[in-house]
Amino acid sequence: MKFNSIEFWLFFSFVIVSYRFLPQKFQNRLLLVAGYVFYSSWDWRFLPLLWISTVVDYILSRILHRSSEHSTRVVVLAGSIAVNLGVLGIFKYYDFFTLEIVRIANYLGADFAPCTLGLALPVGISFYSLQKLGYLLDVYYSRNEPPANIFDFALYTCFFPIILSGPIERSTQLMPQILAPRAIKQSDISEALYHIFSGLFRKVVLADNLAPIVNIIFSTDPKALSGPECLAGMYLYTFQIYFDFSGYSHIAQGVAKLMGFDVMWNFKMPYFASTPSEFWNRWHISLSSWIRDYLYIPLGGNRLGKVRTLTNLTITMLLVGLWHGAAWNFVVWGMFHGCLLVAYRIIELWGCKRNTASIPPSGIGNCLKVFILFNLIAVGWLLFRSDSILQASVMLWRGLTDFSTTNLFYYSLISGAVYVLPMIIFEAWIFLSGDLLIFSRKKWYVQGLVYGLVTIFLMIFQPVGSSEFIYFRF
């Protein structure tokens, strides 16, 4: 069941109607069953894996909470990290590293045959693994304590709006909402409708209509593409992945809000960022903040000197790239962003040394910084989307050296104007207002008119083929 399918909204209608007539305890049981039904609609074969990992993590969290001996707590924490990362590693990374090791060994003269498992990747495993691991780390650091009931912990693990692609919720935020009675205000409904309509519009009207053009360009031999076509593919994918993933996150927020849950914002106009660190504070916020709090800071963060800070930035972004997928283009994409963070940090340190960092940038200067960073981010997305580093390199080179225009380029240009430009204007309005929910505070008839138009657009601009959300594959 995809968020943009009739099946999901029929499923959710049943859940929300039943939910309204139940007390809080039975609401949680209903949501637990709904989570497993929703997850099994994608692939029921991986339900036992989800159940087993939930039971194991709950037992480990109870041991962590009850134990006062430091050595025992360290061993249990290490075991929990090994279990969660081990399961993730087997399903997501074993074949990749096995093939690469065998390839290197054969290159050096050895004669090895790869022993791969060929396992399918359980949907959502990258997200719920980090969420459970963060929970155990919070228990270890006494930021939270496990609930007395395993079913409440299981709901934290498989809350259906977020299990497939996040946001990756913290135990300190989501678990108290699971354990406490939930009330829904009129403003919650208004906010929920904004998230749901915004998310569906971003996914169905924008992302899914950009997808066919992007797929054509990236499935073509880059040597057969003109330079403008290569650039069109790069920039259209830059917006496709944003509309697609932010659309999912908005719908997840809206669905959760209708049930009385506050789910964190995962995107806050990231393409208006002027520095890489600001970009990661606005893009996939639940992942970047998780990496910051549970990896970057424990590594030392920026507390151990300039060289160690730059090293920690590089390591964390390399792991962010690898988290997205077991392929070299994701590794290089992570390294690319690590280099951006390092380069901007060095420039910042150089500016501080020259006493120029305190000078506020002009409006034109800040727009130029946003423009430069946006183009660098787009180059990163070219690496991310390409099937190989070679494909990305050829497309970037042709984009910089070939200027012949084609019908496909003009079609891409028109599509960008139709699907991208209006959303840029809308987000610029939100960005300048400083209020992420400014539209949900408009008069009811203004909201009703816009939502009516969005509904019409959802029917008129039906894509040729509705694709699954991009981040489901990670």
User: Which residues belong to the active site?
Assistant: 324
Q: Tokens representing 205? A: 């009207």
Which residues touch 267 (CB under 8 Å, ≥6 apart)? 242, 245, 246, 249, 282, 283, 284, 285
Of 220, 241, 229, give the one whose Cα is nearest residue 391. Answer: 220
Angle at 87 between CA 176 and CA 338, to 5 degrees: 80
Q: Tokens representing 83? A: 């279990």
Residues constituting the chain = 474
**Rounded distance between C-alpha atoms, residue 361 and residue 367, angstroms:** 9
**Rounded distance between C-alpha atoms, residue 158 and residue 124, angstroms:** 10
Residue with tokens 């997205």: 324
Residue with tokens 């992942």: 287
**Do 73 and 60 touch, CB atoms closer than 8 A?**
no
Q: How many CA atoms lie within 13 A of 198 on its CB side?
A: 26
Q: Tokens representing 263? A: 């789910």
Number of DSSP helices (H) and strands (E) in the chain, helices first: 20, 0
What single-letter DSSP state applies at residue 294? I
Q: Is 104 helix (H, G, I), strand (E, B) or coil?
A: helix
Q: How far is CA 235 from the centre of its chain?
A: 19
Of 375, 146, 171, give the one whose Cα is nearest residue 286. Answer: 171
Of 58, 127, 122, give the one whose Cα is nearest residue 324. Answer: 127
Largest CA distance in the chain: 73
**Rounded distance between C-alpha atoms, residue 238 and residue 248, angstroms:** 16
Of 29, 40, 27, give the one whose Cα is nearest residue 1. Answer: 40
Angle at 293 between CA 139 and CA 147, to 5 degrees: 20
Write b or e for each residue in 407-418: b if 16 or more Cβ atoms lie within 10 A of its Cβ, otherwise e: ebbeebeebbee
**Do 232 and 170 touch, CB atoms closer than 8 A?**
no
Residue 234 burial by CB count (10 A; 0-12/13-18/19+): exposed, middle or buried? buried
Residue 56 burial by CB count (10 A; 0-12/13-18/19+): exposed, middle or buried? middle
